Amino acid sequence: MSEIKEISEEELKKLEEKVKKKFEQSGFSTEEQTALALTKNDWYVLRNVKYYHETERKYKEIDIVANKIFHKSTKLPVSITLVIECKKQEKHPWIFPIGNTKVDNPLSVTFMEKGIKLNSDRVKKKFQDHYYYGRDAVTFSISPFYFDGSRKNHPDPIKKAIDQVLDGLYRISYIEEKLRKKPILCFFYPVIVLNGDLLSYSDGRLNRESHISYLTNISLDDTWRAGGFVTWFKQVVIDIVKLSYFEDFLGIVERNGMIK
């Protein structure tokens, strides 16, 4: 039996350059840096988390699910889970027009009570200390490929990332609700980490941003009950954060990401 001939050093070098170029263009390096920042700040990190999508009848994947449990500053354990999609976008900025909408609804925070019941008046009051409260909310985006005329040939990466992170949020929070047994208060945050230009548009000007709050509403198959509230529609804020700002964002979530 003849042995397979090994790749030559010259061929190896050429292939190495191609792999390096592909790696740098992909979102994988963004995912690596995001996971490293989380680990550095003592978050428990799961990567490439697959889940079964009942409607589409196939497995889908979320880039990172990160969790941290806080004990010292709370009477009961408080859990924060980040559901993260990582994106790299060269040459084509992500642009979000800003209107006059503000985040002012405590139900924009996704949380679950286990063995504890929050009072609605307390939730409303404590929400004023939350990092969502009073932020400019964007509800519309412009495809990065709109201005060069190539959007017909490229799916909108912003819309795709939003759909991915919402799917992941729904599934991860559902699993937590089913599996958590001990008393705990759980918060869930969908996050898109962008390695690229993040811009807002308002008053005729484009502005560089580090963190944008994208606001959407999703209809539910059943009522959502939390903090003394009952609703058929769930308001959701998606944090879109530049990679260079991600560690600062983690600090904000840890300080002001809990209602208790």
In a domain, 128, yes or no: yes
The answer to whether residue 62 is domain-embedded is yes
111 falls within a domain: yes
pLDDT at residue 109, as a whole number: 93
Instruction: Tell me the per-residue pLDDT of 44-86, one tens digit each, with 9 for 90 and over.
Output: 999 999 887 777 788 889 999 999 998 755 567 899 999 999 9
Q: What is the CA radius of gyration of the chain?
A: 21
Is 251 domain-assigned? yes
C-alpha to C-alpha distance for 83 and 62, rounded to whole angstroms: 7
Q: Which pLDDT band holds residue 229 (cuts at 50, 70, 90)?
A: confident
| Strand 78-97 with 184-202, pairing | parallel
Q: Is residue 147, in this structure, part of any structural domain at all?
A: yes
The lowest-confidence range among 102-111, 128-137, 158-167, 174-183 is: 174-183
Nearest alpha-carbon partner for 222 in 211, 214, 210, 234:
234
- Bridge partners of 96? 200
- 2 in any annotated domain: no
Residue 177: the pLDDT is 80
pLDDT in tens, 25-36: 655 689 999 999
DSSP3 helix / strand / coil % (the chain, rounded to 5):
30, 40, 30
What is the extent of the structural domain holding 87?
27-256
Q: Residue 141 pLDDT more than 90? A: yes
pLDDT at 74: 56
Q: Average pLDDT, stretch 163-174?
A: 90
Q: pLDDT class for 184, splitting at 50, 70, 90? A: confident
| Per-residue pLDDT at 147 exceeds 80 | no
Q: Mean pLDDT in the chain?
A: 88
Task: Give the mean model confidence (pLDDT) for residues 205-218.
Answer: 96
- Give the pLDDT confidence score for residue 258 in this predicted structure: 92
In a domain, 13, yes or no: no
Strand 44-53 to strand 58-70: parallel, antiparallel, or no bridges (unpaired)? antiparallel
What distance in Å separates the CA atoms of residue 155 and residue 159, rounded to the nearest whole number?
Answer: 8
Q: According to the model, what pLDDT value does residue 249 have?
A: 98
| DSSP per-residue codes, 77-105 | -EEEEEEEEEEEEEEEEEEEE--S-B---
Position 26 scores a pLDDT of 59
Would you say residue 2 has pLDDT above 70? no
Q: Check residue 1 and give its pLDDT.
A: 52
State the Cα–Cα distance between residues 219 and 255, nearest whole angstrom. Answer: 30
The 10s digit of each residue's pLDDT in 219-228 is: 877 777 777 7
Domain annotation covers residue 229: yes
- Better-scored residue on pLDDT, 70 or 42: 42
Give dist(CA 64, CA 61) in Å, integer: 9
Nearest in space to 114 (alpha carbons), one of 81, 83, 77, 82: 77
CA pair distance 210, 199, nearest whole angstrom = 8
pTM: 0.87
3-state secondary structure of 231: strand
- What does the block give as tokens for 233? 């529609």
Task: Please give the pLDDT value at position 104.
Answer: 95
Total domains in the fold of the chain: 1
Q: Return the percentage of the chain with pLDDT > 90, whole number.
A: 54
What confidence category does residue 162 fall into, taking pLDDT thresholds of 50, 70 and 90? very high
Choice between 176 and 40, residue whose per-residue pLDDT is larger: 40
Under the phi-then-psi rule, with left for phi > 0, alpha for psi from -120 to 50, and beta for the rest, what region is 249? alpha
